[in-house]
Amino acid sequence: MKKSDSGKKNRLDSSSKYQQENLAVIEVSYSMALRITKAKRHHTIAEDLLLSATKDIVRVMLGPEYVNKLNTISLCNNTACRRINGMSADIIDHVIQEIKFATLGIFSIQ
């Protein structure tokens, strides 16, 4: 098996370590987007400040070898904006579903 074929197998195997790491990276990306939204900051802060500050902290506290893992986190401006917009759309969908399925047409928004 070629080296590239082995890489493909790892990516396609849902129980592999690669898949688990990929899910962790996506979770971190969404978590950062949520924090940015809650703080009412512009989404560009993720790439400009948060990721670089996190890399500095990890480099000093844990060592430079751990910084490479942070490079896999996608916090570019477009990604952060997409994550925030996606969460917003999910909230709207959830509210609409709650209104549609409210018993007796009674519902409240607080």
- For residues 61, 35, 43, 69, the Cα torsion angle rounded to the nearest 10 degrees is 30
Average pLDDT, the chain: 77
**pLDDT class of 57 with cuts at 50, 70, 90:** very high
- 94, 99, 104, 107: CA torsion to nearest 10: 100
Tens of pLDDT along 80-94? 778 888 888 888 898
Q: Tell me, what's the pLDDT at 10?
A: 47
Within 13 Å and on the Cβ side, how many CA atoms surround 22? 10
Specify the pTM.
Answer: 0.57
Q: Could you identify the residue written with the tokens 């790892």?
A: 10
